[in-house]
Structure 1
Amino acid sequence: MHEAPFTDIRVRQAVNYALNRKALVILYGGPGIARPLCGLIPSALGVEGQTCPYTRAASPTAPAQQWSAPDMQAARNLVRASGTMGQKITLVVASSSADMAMGVWVRDMLQNLGYQAVLRPISSSLQLPYIQNTDNHVQIALTSWSADYPSASNFVDALFGCENFHPHSDSSINIPGFCDPQAQAIMDRARTDTSLSAMQRDQFWVDANRLIMAQAPAAPMIEKDNVVLTSARVRNFFYTEVNQLLFSQVWLH
């Protein structure tokens, strides 16, 4: 959000409109292990009411599971209105095969919007701290996030909370540098108000998601499943969303 042309909200919204999330699912490995995502809260958390505003559906508040093709016309109109067409954009990606494949697609999408876009691959072990540091002046990057625990707060607040933006540091979780007082107030209450029911808390996260996505500091693309292949001899297979396979609990028959 602090590097041109993405200082302009219209450019950030254009990226969200232009993403073909179904194509990105295929590039990652297919619908068996990934699904489109256009909000900040993964479906596994069971938070109801999240909407997908950047869609060609009849209603901009179509349910998040009703996916449609990208709206390239809306995206191009926003880019033209921003006056940024023709600018140079460098997309930073990890050098893994899946990230490179998706990165090439996003680069081509940016070129179709009228930008001079190039891809910059970086070693997978170095890419995240590199894009976290504002001193590197990263315009746009492709990255992934896994929660420390299964809660909407670990996606919405962790990635876009004001307190998690640390400029000039390679540990800034809030990579876009997003900070909105209204959204932050909602997130703070969702985290700390013990009088809220689970349904009320979920609604607060949905409201925060809506406010954040209206400013488009990021463009959610896909949510991914972890696939674990095991031997038929494995017994007491124990797996959690966060810690994954607990090797201390399994044995071979």
Structure 2
Amino acid sequence: MWSDMAGKLVSKLLFRSSLLTQAAPPASSLLLQGRSGGSAATRQSSSGGPPEKISRYPIPYRKNLPYDIVELMEEVEAKGGFLPNVFKVLSHRPAEFRAFFAYYNELMNKDTGNITKAERELIVVATSIHNRCLYCVVSHSALHRIYSKKPTVADQVVVNYKNAELSPRELAMLDFAMAVCRCDTITEEHFQSLEEVGFDREDAWDIAAIAAFFAMSNRLAHLTDMRPNLEFYNMGRVPRDKHKDEAKDGH
């Protein structure tokens, strides 16, 4: 799962980044350059048709990026099978790239608190549809499907989370997240609603922080016209054929 792996790598690389120079990566890292789209904000479509638009801002050549960012991109791509477009688009500003993924890691990949990874992804889906962010809705719906093993819930939330097949806990969580997303006045009643289903005050902070962080992410996606990778659309919809995977590994 690229989000788990990216979180761990970001922590490691951010710690080292202040020690690294702006030197170009070794030649081996440039082999993946074609997938990042070069200096144009497009990449060739897998069907051989016209280039797929990724961003309205230029995407840097990897040879021009700091080494720690290139290393992260290569490891994410190698282990996840593809490089999510958010990595490419935000590399336009390397310092902000590091800050973005550092906070992302703290919110989405930490092991403390009472919110599961699937629930965190559900918060992103619900608030991102309110903010009309195609990239985050598509990519985080895919991650929710994988974490939850429920292939239809995210789609239901996209249409109307109030009518989705959610538990009382999930519904209260999304009600709170949406109140933050809409900039409603937060009252003690909001906290009490969370506490009734097992969340505490620190969980409330986490829910609100995820909603707030992705409000920023949603708006950056609007600014850049960031488009989701085609791979995200089908992720987690059909169970993987383990026998087929084992056969491939055997070759």
Q: Same fold (TM over 0.5)?
A: no
From the two aligned structures, give the one with the greater strand fraction: 1
Please tell me the TM-score bracket, short chain as reference: under 0.3
From the two aligned structures, give the one with the greater helix fraction: 2
* TM-score, normalization by structure 2: 0.24
* TM-score, normalization by structure 1: 0.24
Where relative contact order (Cα < 8 A, 6+ residues apart) is larger, the structure is 1
